[in-house]
Amino acid sequence: MTEPLFIYNTLTRTKEKFEPLHPPLVGMYVCGPTVYSDVHLGNCRTFVSFDLVYRYLCFLGYKVRYVRNITDAGHLEGDRDEGDDKFAKKAKLEQVEPMEIVQKYTLGFHEVMQLLNTRPPSIEPTATGHICEQIEMIKQILANGYAYEVNGTVYFDVEKYNQKYPYGLLTNRQLEDLIAGTRELGGQDEKKGRLDFALWIHAKPEHVMRWPSPWGWGFPGWHIECSAMSSKYLGDTFDIHGGGMDLQATHHTNEIAQSQACHQKAPVRYWMHTNMLTVNGTRMSKSAGNGFLPGELFTGAHPLLDKAYSPMTVRFFMLQSHYRSTLDFSNEALKASEKGFQRLMSTYALLENLRTGSSSSSNIKELEEKCYAAMNDDFNSPILLAHLFEGARIIQAVHAGSETISSEDLVTLKKFMKGFLFDVLGLRSEATLSNELMEGTVGLVLSLRKEAKDRKDFAQSDKIREELNKLHIEIKDSKDGTSWSINQ
């Protein structure tokens, strides 16, 4: 194992040495997508960031249970437990069942995650699949005295909670400041306190997604699913909880309150938050309407895009900034990423045929250590990439004959370049993939041509040659067989 890993903990606002509760096991929970619409590139940034965390922890030898939920119920349009249900509204618009909406956008999400080469989580629980667990948790919070029921809706009592535990811990805010920043209660409000939020919501007659509960027919509030599912799969206290920083002030603050009120333990040891993907400085979001869909990038079908960008270019673009920095989306930045990614990959391909000498011009071991040091410093992928580019520079210099490398160092260089590029950063060489496909396909066509020649069907074999020529594939027959090359 290398030097210790340090993680920036949002809760303490410091970088802390990572010490899991039950090593080598690590429990990690990440708030997943709300599947009433397509995920946009901003959502993807958060999931790619936690994929990096997951991959690096596994790379270090930890056995990670990675839980990422699917939010498929309980989201109302307003942020005050009122307004239309987002799933029902979309279902009405598309004239389908709400669960068809859930299915459609879950499948779309998985497809995008696969294209971006993120590893699937160990468990992907859904809110609708855990209604019983949510009800049980609400019952316990009520029994512990931190919630109250009004007309079939159960609210969390923030002021009562704050008498024992500091409510605004995650964002370092006092309750009075938080209250001052919220709208006053109106005459219609059932809540006792301005910051109180719903754990369970009474279903109006028109509400489709509804379940029976001790408080009548209803549905869970926005935050309870994550508390219920994280404790079910990872325990009352677990190692890492993540999400975008837009979730800190409300969703995660309320998650802490619910879990603490239920189990009387702090639920999470390391809170991690990713910064936002922005477009011209404005946060990319579904509601702002400035969301780029991954598919629009991969095909180039968006008025603001000059061209299409491959999934690995997009992943590389995201990894070029640290997860806690903002990342602004632009054609120029993507073009630069495309170039950088291709350069790194084509140089990596030279590694296989490098000649070794008796000694090395560069310190390869030190470069390897720097790669680990970058990742151990709160998953600093841009610094890691700078070191990998230094690795690429060395490869090129050795290839050109201006530097030398010993055979021992070449083994080290191959090992860590491969490990960090593919296992940790999760990149994959798109050129290699299509080359393999190309080799296979042309090989197949040439074997058909050989069969035609063997049965003296020269018309057919010439036709195959001509058709391949039209595709700029030139074939050469010699006494050793047939070879081919791309003629551009």
Q: In this complex, which beta carbon is closest to ligand AMP, that of residue 31 or of residue 147?
A: 31
Give the binding range for ligand AMP (CB under 6 A) out of 58-66, 281-289, 346-354, 412-420.
281-289
Tokens of 107: 């499948």
Per CB under 6 A, 110 contacts ligand AMP: no
Considering CB distances under 5 to 8 angstroms, the limit depending on partner class, which of ligand AMP, Zn ion, none binds residue 226? Zn ion
The answer to whether 67 and 230 are in contact (CB under 8 A) is yes
Q: How far is the CB of 228 from Zn ion (least distance, A)?
A: 10
The residue from 16, 149, 190, 246 that contacts ligand AMP (CB under 6 A) is: 246
| Nearer CB in complex with ligand AMP: 168/243 | 243
124 binds ligand AMP (CB under 6 A): no
Q: Contact at 8 Å (CB) between 155 and 198?
A: yes
Q: What are phi and psi of 241, to 5 degrees?
A: -130, 130
Residue 34 interacts, among ligand AMP, Zn ion, none and using kind-specific CB cut-offs from 5 to 8 Å, with: ligand AMP
Selected range binding ligand AMP among 31-39, 142-150, 171-179, 432-440, rule: CB under 6 A: 31-39
225 to 254, contacts with Zn ion by CB under 5 A? 226
**What ranges make up the beta strands (E) of 326-396?**
327-329
**Cα distances (angstroms) measured from residue 223 to each of 154, 421, 470, 480:** 13, 36, 59, 69
CA–CA gap between residue 21 and residue 476 (Å, rounded): 63
Q: Does 244 bind ligand AMP (CB under 6 A)?
A: yes
Interaction mask 344-363, ligand AMP, x per CB under 6 A: --------------------
Which residue lies nearer to Zn ion by CB, 67 or 334? Answer: 67
DSSP 430-471: HHHHHHHHHHHHHHHHHHHHHHHHHTT-HHHHHHHHHHHHHT
The three-class DSSP label of residue 246 is helix
197-202 and 6-9 strand pairing:
unpaired
Q: How far is the CB of 85 from ligand AMP (least distance, A)?
A: 15
Query: 463 to each of 182, 446, 452, how far by Cα in Å?
Result: 76, 12, 10
Q: Which is nearer to ligand AMP, 323 or 420 (CB)?
A: 323
**Residues between 365 and 424 with contacts to ligand AMP, criterion CB under 6 A:** none
- In the bound state with ligand AMP, the residue whose beta carbon lies nearer, of 274 and 362, is 274
Q: How many CB atoms lie within 10 A of CB 363?
A: 12
Binds ligand AMP by CB under 6 A, chosen from 104, 160, 283, 428: 283
Contact track, ligand AMP, 37-56, x by CB under 6 A? -----xx-xx----------
DSSP secondary structure code for residue 71 in this structure: B
CA angle 463, 469, 470 (to 5 degrees): 95
Residue 43 binding partner per list Zn ion, ligand AMP, none, with a CB distance cut-off of 5 to 8 Å that depends on partner kind: ligand AMP
Residue 31 is a binding residue for Zn ion (CB under 5 A) = yes
Considering only 78-86, 187-195, 218-226, 427-435, which stretch makes contact with Zn ion by CB under 5 A?
A: 218-226
Instruction: For residues 410 and 405, give the distance between their C-alpha atoms in angstroms, rounded to a whole number.
Output: 6
Number of C-beta neighbours around residue 139 at 10 A:
18
- How many of the other CB atoms lie within 10 Å of CB of 270? 21
CB of 3 to ligand AMP, least distance (A): 29
Contact stretch for ligand AMP (CB under 6 A) within 3-11, 141-149, 273-281, 292-300: 273-281
Is 247 near ligand AMP (CB under 6 A)?
Answer: yes
Instruction: Using alpha carbons, select from 14, 40, 11, 220 the residue that is nearest to residue 136.
Output: 220
Element (H, E) at 114: helix 98-115
Residue 277 near ligand AMP by CB under 6 A = yes
Residues in 140-159 at the binding interface with ligand AMP, rule: CB under 6 A: none
d(CA 51, CA 44): 10
Q: How many CB atoms lie within 10 A of CB 160?
A: 16
For residues 144 and 250, which CB has a smaller minimum distance to ligand AMP in the complex? 250
Task: Give contact residues for Zn ion (rule: CB under 5 A).
Answer: 31, 226
The site for ligand AMP (CB under 6 A) is made up of 31, 33-34, 42-43, 45-46, 243-244, 246-247, 274, 276-277, 283-285
